[in-house]
Structure 1
Amino acid sequence: MLTGRSASAAPAGADVDTLPALVGPASVEVTARYLKVGDGYTSTLLVNGYPAEVGAGWLSPLTGWPGRADVVIHIEPLAPQVAASRLRRQRARLESSRRSDAEHGRLDDPSTEAAAADAAELADRVACGASRLFRVGHYVAVHATSLEELTESVAHVRATAASVMLDTVPATWRQMQAWTSTLPLGVDSIGMRRVFDTDSLSAGMPLASADLPAPLPGDPPSASGVLYGVNTATNGIVWHDRWAADNHNSVVLARSGAGKSYMIKLETLRSLYDGVQVHVIDPEDEYRRLAGAVGGTVIDLGAPDVRLNPLDIAADDTRPDARNRRALFAHALVNVLLGAAGQAGGMDPVERAALDRAVNAAYLGAGVTNDPATWRRPAPLLRDVAAALEADGSPPAVTLAARLSPWTTGSFSDLFAGPTTTRPTGHLVVWSTRRLADELRAPGMLLALDTIWRVVDAPPAADPTGGRRRLVIVDEAWTLLRDGEGVRFLNRLAKAARKRRAGLSVITQDAADLLGSELGQAVIANSATQVLMRQAPQAVAAVADSFSLTGGEARMLLSAQRGESLLLSGSNRVASHAVSSYREHALCVTGNTDPEETP
């Protein structure tokens, strides 16, 4: 047992003596096959057998092992004269074996023939300076929090190494020397080395992994997350937890037919397994089957009996500025309505002032003041605001009332013609906008997002779920992204969602709408999880520039198959292919898709 002294008990000035106590573990317990280091356990494996040939990235299975394992390489270059001498002796031994077999009439040994040819080729390259020889040792330190977990992890690491023809043995009765050899001290106390040439050694570099990293030492493993698919490079599992990232937002960019809706529906279903409440803005009515299977709620915007009143104030919202918030949203909605009608410029400052007066007048006419006690009364409707504009009598107010007439008394007034009829309740709420006319698509999506935001932003006392995690999915977001007010609303939602245990997922097939504006770039900047699927050749350059993709990643997006994606999370990037069970597949294909079709 080696025990370090407490740093506070160390005498002043004893720099060398106190260094182990300052940076080392509290204690190290040595056994034959493992060490107990502090509160954890570690066991070191030695690589003592290698395949005859190695390819690029041959160490990746070990460096990408999904757990805490330190892969350590000790490299010692051999002097050219020593390398040449060893190669001559090796070639002499192999030639002697060949001649002995020939003299005794034995058949040629294929392994000896291959080794002789390799030795001759290597000797030629060393002689002309094209390659060098190195003495190399590979050690793997496996860490765990319990002895049972350590035993299982060591077996898993050995099986992983065996899958690429690497033989490993535990450092029995030399665990202390082996462990210190894996520390960043530059000391190899084991000395189990093999001779590598430059090509074989460099094929294991860089020490990178195509898999997402495991939790850092000391960090608890994630208790949530969803399966995104199978790693296309290693066939490993791509398991990502958006709730453990810097923020909970994501953005998905893909061309039509790349499989983005299929992948998002899989994420939706698996998020429900994880206890997340999901709200979906569904322009194409693709989530109805999924909602029916899991007992979700579908709200058909555009149906005759479905109405949303943008001026509603929640009766249980007691914040003093709740009425002012609704008045400000009325400004945003009117801007979107006028933009949907092709009326360029929205409102000018004079019309904006007239609208503000009309909204306040409509609230007062309904008996709703800044007193929270009055907020239980029926809220005014959009047509009441138009009537207040006409009663104002000023030319800007009358003009604005006329511009709003299609949504107050005209063809598009059904959605706003009465009090709110539907409340979003349940673990999955799908807001279908397929029945809405094109002129109502953007306003309908904005109304749905506003209603969702009011659920997310509810005061703690008014939240019956007790702070449940919520995911807001905006599918085919290009409908909203083409409107400046819509992008601003998404930007505000992306920035404010994290503090309310909510995440925003923006999905669009038109990358230019998201990348072509500062607000769209801000939405991307506030999304810690980014998923890129197959891109059109015309858009891949802009996508590669915005997401700092390498040339290989950009080419991967051009040739990606349906369901393949590039997941970006912080500094980590991993390519995956969506996988599903038969039941999940049946729920995630769209209504007009062949159920036998694969993503």
Structure 2
Amino acid sequence: MKFTRHADNTLPGPSSLKVNARSIEFPDGTCASFAIAGYPREVGAGWLEPLTGYPGHLDVSLHIEPVPPLIAAQRLRRQLARLDSARTADFATEAAADDAAELAASLARGHGRLFRVGLYLTVHATDPGQLEAEVQHVKTLAASLLLDAQPTTFRALQGWTATLPLATDTLKTRRTFDTSALAAAFPFASPDLRPRLGDTPVLLGLNAYSSGIVLWDRFAHDNHNSVTIARSGAGKSYLTKLEVLRLLFHQVQVCVVDPEDEYRRLANAVGGTLLGLGTPGVCFNPFDLPEDAEDDALDRRAMFLQTLVATMLGEPLTAATKAVLDKAVIATYAAAGITSDRRTWKRPAPLLADLATMLEATDASELAVRLAPYISGSYRSLFSGPTTTRPDGHLIVFSLRDLPEETRPVGMLLALDAIWRRVSNPADRRRRLVVVDEAWTLMREHEGARFLYRLAKSARKHWTGLAVVTQDAADLLGSDLGKAVVANAATQILLRQAPQAIDEIAEAFNLTEGERLFLLSAGQGEGLVCGGTGDRAAFYAVADTSEHALATTDPAELP
């Protein structure tokens, strides 16, 4: 039998094919198919991975059809009755009856469902001689898994189409699975990684040593924090952007501290909020009060403004200066009509210039003069007016690239404070992820290091994960604060490491010699994910075309 594609060349597939009894011949190869007719009694998670990891060209297709609960209950009753009547001295029948009774009890309690599952294989080769050898290898592999692989004799065409991505089961060779058995048959599980998966699993990539996928759910672990350490150019920011994109599909709100403006294209593509601190025309008023703030929000703002002024001045404030500044801040709010009454908090907030005017009026002109660069001097652009863009939305990116070095600590403090207010607000509790890219820039600043330490310790209580991404392991592992961040991260991702840092990394993360060598020779995007339970897997990041366009920072690929 021979089939030829239409002359207009509109249908995908081979130009022609010849159907034999057990094989199909194409212009550039041949294939044979198998239907799995028998299964082992007990299996473990990822037991189909040897098939998906077969070194040759093998298509594996799993067709799943749920069985309605009423029909499932009727079939189980008939099966139990038949098996009970045939128990006698047949031990296999007795074991099957026990399994059926256990399954019926599980379904009655609502712990699972029944599914009709068909598993089909199609092996490809370049010529009939090679196909025969490949067929024997696949049959041997299936037998080692206790699978009964039957050739689709005189149904070669149906066997081939059953393994195409058409969602059409043309063979109908099915077996009944319950929920747990079907979960164990998931064909893309990574056998060397058994993470806990909840409602927000994310694809990290493919297993570096098999075809299994590496799924990870940071929110299903003891804490939701992670650290990603890699040398420059190893793909750490690329992998982080992929996780951000995929978590957005799970309605996780993401806040990013972006020192290098690498997340701008991503934020624009998904409708996120971008605050380019230091960009002309962008203002951020530290006096803003959140609309759904707690009753002590005004007092907290006053205390934060003391920290902000101390950062601006580059030195701690004395007790006397704190007292004067606190009085001036409260008076500045009062002059704008804002008091401890929550109904007044919707009024326009005062500006930093109003605080300077109030300081001059309270005989604190020296402090006002020292704040002049941020009010009327060269650093005034960030504080010269009301906030231009509110930090709201599903993705909030604070870009710090355009901030001068002199004002970067101040801008960073504003960004971190805005994030902390959102995270710690009990009136808006939801899953969140705070990404701190190039975290070594924060570790150099006292307030930035304190923020990372505080968030690493308490993020879990606020249903939030902290993702620390850095290329400088020494800054992270060389301080007590940095070690605390690592110790409180249930997820650790290590990409390619520099030879100068591998000894410190190996000691901190208890790497084996093989893992050391892997990280030294890993390619771009390849790495090691380590879980809090001791599970580890080598993987490489994968992305489709649209994801890659948003995640890459390669100058050769950017317009």
Structure 2 gap ranges (5+)? 1-37, 52-98, 104-110, 122-135, 149-189
Q: Distance in 2 between matches of 1:533 and 1:306?
A: 36
Name 2:87's counterpart in structure 1.
none
Q: Given the two structures, how large is their TM-score scaled by the length of structure 2?
A: 0.65
Would you say how many aligned residue pairs link Structure 1 and Structure 2? 412
Amino acid at match of 2:335: G
Cα 1:532–1:511 shift into 2, 3 Å? same
Opposite residue 237 of structure 1, the aligned amino acid is I
- Out of 547, 553, 558, the residue aligned to residue 509 of structure 2 is 547
Q: Which moved more, 1:270-279 or 1:145-154?
A: 145-154
Aligned to 1:323: 298
1:577 matches 2:540: yes
- Look up the match of 2:520: 558
Q: Is the 8 A contact 1:44 1:170 kept in 2?
A: no
Aligned with 1:336 (options 311, 329, 334): 311
- In structure 2, how many angstroms separate the alpha carbons of the residues matched to 1:509 and 1:541? 15
The whole-number CA distance in structure 1 between the counterparts of 2:473 and 2:511 is 15
1:291 matched to 2:267:
yes
Give the match for residue 365 of structure 1: 335
Picking from 506, 531, 553, the partner of 2:468 is: 506
Residue equivalent to 2:555: 592
| TM-score of the pair, normalised by structure 1 | 0.61
Percent identity, aligned pairs only, is 52
CA 1:531–1:333: 2 relative to 1, 3 Å: farther
Q: 1:27-176 residue pairs with structure 2 within 5 A?
A: 43-44=41-42, 148=114, 167-169=144-146
**Residues 474 and 146 (structure 1 numbering): CA distance in 2 closer, same or farther, change over 3 Å?**
same
Contact 2:413 2:447 in 1 (8 A): no
Decide whether the 8 Å contact of 2:496 with 2:523 is kept in 1: yes
Which residue does 1:7 correspond to in 2?
none
Give 2:182's aligned residue.
none
Q: 1:160 to 1:510 in 2, by over 3 A?
A: farther
- Cα distance change, pair 576–337 in 1 and its aligned pair in 2 (3 A): farther
Q: Name the amino acid aligned to 1:434.
A: R
Structure 1, 283-292 or 261-270: larger mean CA deviation? 283-292
Deviations 1:523-550 (A, max 9, x none): 2222221212222233222222222323
Tell me, what secondary structure is at the counterpart of 1:531? strand
Match of 1:244 among 201, 216, 220: 220
CA deviation profile, 1:457-495 (whole Å, cap 9, x unmatched): 3342xx4xxx44222212122222211111112222233
Q: Secondary structure at the match of 1:532?
A: strand
Where does residue 405 of structure 1 map in the other structure? Answer: 372
Q: Please say if residues 258 and 561 of structure 1, whose CA atoms lie closer than 8 Å, have aligned partners that are also in contact.
A: yes
Which deviates further from its counterpart, 575-584 or 381-390? 381-390
Deviation of 1:266 after TM superposition, in Å, equals 1.0
Contact 1:336–1:486, Cα closer than 8 Å, also in 2 = no
Q: Is the alpha carbon distance of 1:160 and 1:568 closer, same or farther for their aligned partners in structure 2, counting shifts above 3 Å?
A: farther
SS at match of 1:262: helix
Larger Rg over CA atoms = 1
Out of 486, 494, 512, which is 2:448 matched to?
486
Establish whether residue 254 from structure 1 lines up as the match of residue 230 from structure 2. Answer: yes
Answer yes or no: is the 8 Å Cα contact 1:161–1:167 preserved in 2.
Answer: no
Q: Report the equivalent of 1:266.
A: 242
| 8 A Cα contact 1:262 1:588, kept in partner | yes
* In the alignment, structure 1 residue 456 sits paired with structure 2 residue 441: no
Quote how far apart the aligned CAs of 1:594 are: 2.1
In 2, the alpha carbon distance for the partners of 1:298 and 1:473 equals 14
What is the root-mean-square deviation in Å for CA atoms of aligned residues?
A: 3.6
Could you tell me whether the CA contact under 8 Å between 2:193 and 2:537 is conserved in 1?
A: yes
Quickly say closer, same or farther: Cα 1:333–1:211, change in 2 above 3 A.
farther
2:350 to 375, 380, 388: 380
What is the aligned partner in structure 2 of residue 51 from structure 1? none
Instruction: Give yes or no for contact 1:61–1:160 (8 Å, CA) kept in 2.
Output: no
Q: Distance in 1 between matches of 2:120 and 2:538?
A: 27
Distance 1:278 1:389 in 2: 38
